[in-house]
Amino acid sequence: MLGPLLVAAMLLLAACQPRQARRAVRGEPAIEATVVTIQTTIQPQNRTFTHALVIGEDKARSGDEVDRWRLFDFKNGNVTFVDEVAKTYRTESLPSLLAAARTAASQPLPAGLPSVTVTRTGVLRMMQGAEATQIVMRAGTYAREVWVARHPSIPPQLFSMMLASAPPSSKLSAMTRSANDALLASDGFPLADHSEIAYDDKKLTVDHNVVRIERKNVPQSWLTISAEYRDVTPKPAPPQPPAAKRPRAKK
């Protein structure tokens, strides 16, 4: 059985291992994009690192995903999952991803897992030139404070696409249902995200902060899928032909 502290620690550490995407190759075609720089700080380890969220005209990608990454398509409302190792990709629509996430989260809570309480405090703060609203989540000694804003440089649907397509955790999805529902309904992007938990007489904290939003050139390949990769998206089942009508028996 998982205790509240262990569950909270798993929640806190799950998003703390970003890796940086490959660097640009000299001579590679470039495109202009919005680059959102996100800084992560972990205490008491005193570790700080950054990664970039690249937003093109109608697509986006997070730079902390390397071997397996997601391409967010705003124009078509879908997410493509790219596997650099297998050289394959598959595409799912946002409605299907949201439905799957809600189905997973609707399962009963396993014994020992606390539910997460969500509070929209109504407190506002100016961040990165946009007005952010505060959302607070708690479960036992675990606490998370998120400041969400509708920033003009970040598509409002991007965060919901990122959240709905994140790899699910069978043990934690039901516990985080109310928290995810609150974030999915927030219609914005988290400009600051602080999590903390008291554990073994220590406080473990993780902060994700948007520190810069700018326009700059990025490698075109960051927002495209190689033509050499194979599409493994499941194909819909072909429609079944109508059943043949039996001839009526003659009287």
Residue written as tokens 């000299």? 26
Nearest to 165 by CA among 56, 223, 58, 90: 90
pTM over 0.85: no
Q: Are the C-beta atoms of residues 206 and 42 closer than 8 Å to each other? A: yes
Instruction: Give the lowest-confidence range in 15-19, 36-40, 84-88, 241-245.
Output: 15-19
The per-residue pLDDT for 5 is 46
List pLDDT tens digits, range 156-169.
999 999 999 987 65
Taking the C-alpha atoms of residue 14 and residue 193, their distance in angstroms, rounded to an integer, is 14
Highest mean pLDDT among 3-7, 17-21, 89-93: 89-93
Taking the C-alpha atoms of residue 96 and residue 52, their distance in angstroms, rounded to an integer, is 27
The per-residue pLDDT for 172 is 60
pLDDT band at residue 211 using 50, 70 and 90 as cut-offs = very high
- Helices H, strands E: what count in the chain? 4, 12
Q: What are phi and psi of 68, to 5 degrees?
A: -130, 120
* 146 has a pLDDT exceeding 90: yes
Percent of the chain beyond pLDDT 90?
A: 57
The per-residue pLDDT for 134 is 96
- Chain-centre distance of CA 16, in angstroms? 13
List pLDDT tens digits, range 115-139.
788 999 999 999 999 999 999 999 8
Taking the C-alpha atoms of residue 203 and residue 42, their distance in angstroms, rounded to an integer, is 11
* 223 has a pLDDT exceeding 90: yes
